[in-house]
Amino acid sequence: MQRSDVRRDDGTWVGLALDVQDRHQPELGVFSAGPRLLVSQLTRPVLLAVVEEPLQGVDFWRTDAYRSFVPPLRADMGRALSGSPERWAHRFAQYLSESPGSPLHEGRWLLSCESPLQRRRHAATSHAEYWGSMLVEGHPDGYIDWYFHSTSWEVLPLRPMPDPGDNRVKAYRKQIREGTLPPVLLWWVSGLDCHLILDGHARLAAAIAESVEPPLLQLHRTVPRDDLAARIDAAVGFYEYELARFAELRAVHGPTVPDGAASAGPQLVRTLRPPGSSTGSDTGVASIGSGSVRVTAHAFHPARPPVNRVRVCPGHRPGRGRSAHYSTSPGAVC
C-alpha cells in the first residue's frame, strides 16, 4: 500500500490517500442481495440489515462478532502522538494495511481528519447532546431512520457503547483532560447511509461523558483522477455510439424505433458513478458533439435504487471535443 499526504491549496494537511493493490477482497465488507445487507468480517456475520420499503430506513441486527483490527492503544502512545492527527493517521493506516479484519481492498481510499459530523453541531448544542444524538441506538436490534435523519451522517456502533462508569471509559476521560485522547476511527458506508465505528467505542463514550468533540479519522473510498477521466471518456464514447446506432435504425425503420437514450442513458450513469461516492449526489458534465450530457447520480445503495437523470444540455459547452468535469462527495465503498 502506498500512502500520500492530502493537503489544501494553503498547505494544510487534511488526510492520507491510501492506494491499495493486490488485495482483491476486503476482510470486512458489505454484501447485498435485494433489500438485504450483510456486514461480514473474516466470514463472521457482524451486522444483518433489511431496507424497509419504501426506502425510509434500515432494520438491523448486530451479532457482537465484530473485533477491532486496531490493537489496544496505550496511554504512552497517546502522549507520544497527541496533537498530531497526521501521525495518528499514519499509525491507523498501518493497522488498516497490516491487521486482519480491515475493510481495505484494491483501490484508492482517503483517511481524513475532517468529517461532515464536525460541522453540523449548532453552537447552542453541547457536545454531549450532539454526539449522543448522532449515535444509532439499539442492541442487538435497531433502526437507521433515513426519513428523519437523511444526510445527517449518523454513527452506528458495531458493538454496544460502554457505560460512563466502564473502566476503559474512565481511563479515556483522564486522557481527554490531559489532551492525549487517540482519535475515533469511522468508516463511511453509503449502503447504510451512516458511519460505522471501526475503533474507539470507549473513546467516543468518554468524549460524550466529558462533553468534548472527539478527535476523528474518517475512512472512505474514493477514485483516482486519472481513472475517473478514463472511465468518463469510455462511457461517453459508448453513449455516443449507441445513440448513433439507434439513429441509423430510426432512419431505416422509422420513428417507431426508440432513440436509444432510455437504454444508453442509465448505463452511462451507472458507469460514471464512482465506486466510493457518498449518498450525496455526484454530478458529471461531459461534452458530446454540439451539446453535452449532464449526469446526476446518487451513490451506491444496494437496496435503494439510484435516482438517475440524464439530459442533453445544448447550451452547456464545457470545451471542444470530449471533455468532462466530475465532482464527488466523500463517501465509502461497500
> Average of pLDDT values for 302-313?
33
- pLDDT, position 225: 66
Q: What is the pLDDT of residues 121-131, one digit of tens each?
A: 888 999 999 99
When the pLDDT of each residue in the chain is averaged and rounded to a whole number, the result is: 81
Q: What is the pLDDT of residues 267-294, one digit of tens each?
A: 887 777 644 443 333 333 344 443 444 3
**Residue 143 above 70 pLDDT?**
yes
* Cα 42 to the center of its chain, rounded Å: 21
Winning range, highest mean pLDDT, from 20-24, 132-136, 143-147: 132-136
**Residue 303 above 70 pLDDT?**
no
Single pTM value for the model:
0.71
- pLDDT, position 155: 96
Q: What is the pLDDT of residues 145-199, one digit of tens each?
A: 988 877 678 999 999 999 999 999 999 999 999 999 999 999 999 889 999 999 9
Q: What is the pLDDT of residues 222-234, one digit of tens each?
A: 876 666 677 788 8
- pLDDT, position 229: 73
For residues 146 and 330, the model is more confident at 146
> Average of pLDDT values for 220-247?
83
Please report which confidence band the pLDDT of residue 318 belongs to, taking 50, 70 and 90 as the band edges. Answer: very low
For residues 259 and 151, the model is more confident at 259
> Average of pLDDT values for 189-213?
95
